[in-house]
Structure 1
């Protein structure tokens, strides 16, 4: 019997070697990624009906160590690690998941290296997206929480990081290497995924319900008022601001809770991405999700 070929690389897998279905969860940040990563780590440990490799996990349970953010290509050590994981997954009979927000910023060269490292396996890509007007508001607050004093101007933050929120741009390397049929886009919106993003990805992976599952680790943002308090503290002491941010994350805070991006700015944000959003909605979203994503 001849070996069969991976459609993305053309490399053959020898007779006797197995194939795993491997999901690459590529982000986007602030779409429940921390909850997914913690829940999959627990499910892999306790239920063993999914493989969520321990190798390469950060303290947040993301596989950042497997997928370094810097550079246009992965180094030999990283590629070797990915190949070793690929070999170990050859005999598994349950889905496997690798998750890192770094992946949605990967270059085409890096995506090609991933494809080759896992050649012969059934690779799928899942990407959660969120309307940019909501996402930028959440991301700005998160930046003030994680790095007090860094880019405290909302307008400058938008201009500096605008490219990172263009989902079509983020997807292009994956589309080029894997093809659209390997990619699943999910809109991070309660109408689409419900109140639990973990349950959504569990359904996608074909995992049975787990009623006893504990609530996943969350990565809460500061309220707008809390963010303003942290930003004020950062003017005199970034260290004090960082401690304050840890205390206030996920806590309702009194004060000015108006958003940093007001309604006209939010409209401008969505107009900025309108054309690219329209294209990926037509390709990857159903009618209901597309309407919510593109709503003016």
Structure 2
């Protein structure tokens, strides 16, 4: 359907729907938690060129969050030129930014369930603080491609599910949303507090990152299946006060971001208590909960309403 709109999403080592290998190799190496593939950056460049040059598409689309996490904008430009980019071609860099308290919680969830992180949330926040300093992180992209080439979008409506990010992105591409049959639901959901603690225990084992995350999709399914059953602890990982303190540390950066890229004073709405989802606190990770997690992984998926607490 994209190609019918003149949009080419080149099949260059796509994994998990994104061009992650391109991002890693442009950076110079794979992340410790990532599974490398055998082809070199030169190989992928040649594949990209072989797909792009004969195509009649008017738009070439590349996508990976790792272009942001491991930025090499000058190397990306070189790759695009080698793949056929002309000086008259327009480059648009779309970056969805998330309010930093939510971004840290989401990143922590992802890093534990899929990247082998064994650290606490507070340790991870301190270590990764610069990752969500958007003004600083986007500056190299602005230096390379120009401020007017960067389109910054607030992710808040999509995290709150009041809008669909796919609709928004298709509109940016100029594609007819009504012609796309998009599945309902969300990919790569979070895991609750207890299951996160269980995965952190697994991450301490002397296993490869790939083996540590072997069951992360089942654990995501378990979180969804147990919601509302009052069995697992599902309280927010950050209190309102902790979120306010965290957001204050990004206030100056966010002001620069809003002024530079959006020509406005602010980008995110003020934090309110209603923004923090309610949860049920239930005694931490007990033996009974561990047994239920292992049973779910083993394929025993009885209703949570029948489990004695």
TM superposition shift of 1:155: 1.4
The one-character-per-residue Cα deviations of 1:88-144 (angstroms, maximum 9, x if unpaired) are 45x324x33111112113134324424644233221110011011001101111111
Match of residue 188 from structure 2: 219
Correspondences of 1:20-39 after superposition (within 5 Å): none
Within the candidate set 57, 60, 67, 1:92 is matched to: 57
Within the candidate set 234, 237, 245, 2:216 is matched to: 245
Q: Does the aligned pair in 2 maintain the 1:151–1:157 contact within 8 Å?
A: no
Q: Which structure carries more strand by proportion?
A: 1
Change (3 A) 1:83 1:244: closer
Correspondences of 1:1-296 after superposition (within 5 Å): 43-44=1-2, 47=4, 49-58=6-15, 60-69=16-25, 71=27, 76-89=42-55, 91-93=56-58, 95-104=59-68, 105-114=70-79, 116-117=81-82, 118-120=85-87, 121-148=89-116, 150-190=117-157, 194-210=162-178, 213-215=181-183, 218-234=187-203, 242-250=213-221, 251=224, 252=226, 254-285=231-262, 290-292=267-269, 295=271
Q: Does the aligned pair in 2 maintain the 1:187–1:289 contact within 8 Å?
A: no
TM superposition shift of 1:278: 0.8
Change (3 A) 1:244 1:72: closer
Indicate the SS of the match to 2:96: strand
Instruction: Work out the CA distance in 1 between the residues paired with 2:204 and 2:41.
Output: 39
Unaligned runs of 5+ in 2: 30-39, 273-309
Bigger relative contact order (CA 8 A; separation at least 6)? 1
Indicate the SS of the match to 1:99: coil
Instruction: Work out the CA distance in 2 between the residues paired with 1:280 and 1:202.
Output: 24
Provide the alpha-carbon RMSD of the alignment: 3.3
Answer with 1 or 2: which has the greater Rg.
2
Q: Does the aligned pair in 2 maintain the 1:132–1:269 contact within 8 Å?
A: yes
Match of residue 9 from structure 1: none
How many residues align? The count is 248
The one-character-per-residue Cα deviations of 1:143-180 (angstroms, maximum 9, x if unpaired) are 111134x2331111112222222212221121011111
Instruction: Work out the CA distance in 2 between the residues paired with 1:145 and 1:214.
Output: 26
Change (3 A) 1:275 1:256: same
The one-character-per-residue Cα deviations of 1:184-209 (angstroms, maximum 9, x if unpaired) are 11111117994211010001111112
TM-score, with length taken from structure 1: 0.71
Change (3 A) 1:214 1:92: closer
After the TM superposition, which of the residue ranges 72-81 and 125-134 deviates more from structure 2?
A: 72-81
Q: Does the aligned pair in 2 maintain the 1:124–1:183 contact within 8 Å?
A: yes
TM superposition shift of 1:283: 2.2
